[in-house]
């Protein structure tokens, strides 16, 4: 990174992996997560002299979430065209999906705002007030978005577990 100050480089080296994990939790895609983190760091760099004296990690997290939110609002979130439609539905050959993987997938299926709230509240362990400050909304909005997201996650987890129970046990030891 040419033209950077050593403390910015140290911050990126020290906190980069955690920020990349945060970006992945928001996007659900490794490549988009890298782009999101790079964009956020590019936004932080010009303000680094001011940010470094306060709480750079909180600022970086806020920039990540806000950048993700602006991307999410602009992105077309409808059908993705495919070349061919399959003739028939095929059974899932790997029905025993690891719970952690299932949960990550379910979190990624949430709408962007709910995903950001779940990420900040439960993965970053922030309070309702801290989450509201980062998202620029009221604590009541955070609470309602959290409630809606958890309700959807509960329903989807029950559906995943039911599919796993109904799946044949072939291939299990």
More confident residue, 16 or 76: 16
Residue 136 lies in a domain: yes
Look up the CATH number of the domain holding residue 132: 1.10.10.10
- Residue 63's nearest CA partner among 80, 77, 50, 81 is 50
**Both 119 and 161 in a single domain?**
yes
What is the spatial distance between Cα 28 and Cα 91, in angstroms, rounded to a whole number?
24
Quote the number of domains for the chain: 2
Residue 173 lies in a domain: no
Residue 94 lies in a domain: no
What is the spatial distance between Cα 159 and Cα 167, in angstroms, rounded to a whole number?
12
Residue 105 lies in a domain: yes
Q: Tokens 């987890």, residue?
A: 157
**Both 20 and 55 in a single domain?**
yes
**Both 112 and 67 in a single domain?**
no
Q: What pLDDT, on the 0 to 100 scale, is given for residue 82?
A: 63
Tens digits of per-residue pLDDT, 131-143? 999 999 999 999 9
Q: Is pLDDT of 4 > 80?
A: no
Its domain, for residue 12, covers 6-74
Q: What pLDDT, on the 0 to 100 scale, is given for residue 1?
A: 45
- Residue 36's nearest CA partner among 75, 8, 80, 9 is 75
Residue 85 lies in a domain: no
How many helices and strands in the chain, by DSSP H and E? 8, 0
Q: What angle do CA 150, 119, 26 make, to 5 degrees?
A: 115
Q: How confident is the model at residue 78 (pLDDT cuts 50, 70, 90)?
A: very low
pTM: 0.55
Phi and psi for 97 in degrees, rounded to 5? Answer: -90, 135
Q: What pLDDT, on the 0 to 100 scale, is given for residue 108?
A: 85
**Both 158 and 105 in a single domain?**
yes
**Both 69 and 128 in a single domain?**
no
**Both 20 and 64 in a single domain?**
yes
Residue 93 lies in a domain: no
Tens digits of per-residue pLDDT, 32-56? 899 999 999 999 999 998 888 888 9
**Both 56 and 108 in a single domain?**
no
Neighbours of 82 (CB within 10 A): 7
Q: Which two tokens stand for residue 158?
A: 């029950």
**Both 108 and 69 in a single domain?**
no
Q: Tokens 């999410």, residue?
A: 72
What is the spatial distance between Cα 149 and Cα 143, in angstroms, rounded to a whole number?
10
Residue 89 lies in a domain: no
């Amino acid at each position: 990174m040419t033209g950077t100050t050593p403390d910015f480089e140290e911050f990126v080296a020290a906190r980069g992996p955690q920020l990349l994990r945060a970006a992945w939790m928001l996007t659900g895609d490794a490549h988009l997560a890298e782009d999101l983190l790079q964009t956020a760091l590019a936004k932080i760099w010009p303000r680094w002299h001011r940010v470094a004296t306060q709480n750079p990690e909180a600022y970086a997290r806020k920039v990540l979430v806000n950048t993700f939110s602006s991307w999410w609002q602009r992105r077309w979130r409808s059908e993705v065209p495919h070349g061919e439609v399959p003739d028939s539905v095929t059974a899932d050959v790997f029905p025993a999906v690891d719970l952690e993987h299932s949960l990550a997938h379910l979190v990624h299926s949430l709408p962007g705002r709910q995903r950001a709230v779940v990420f900040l509240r439960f993965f970053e362990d922030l309070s309702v007030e801290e989450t509201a400050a980062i998202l620029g909304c009221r604590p009541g909005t955070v609470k309602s978005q959290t409630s809606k997201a958890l309700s959807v996650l509960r329903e989807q987890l029950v559906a995943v577990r039911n599919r796993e129970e109904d799946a044949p046990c072939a291939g299990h030891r």
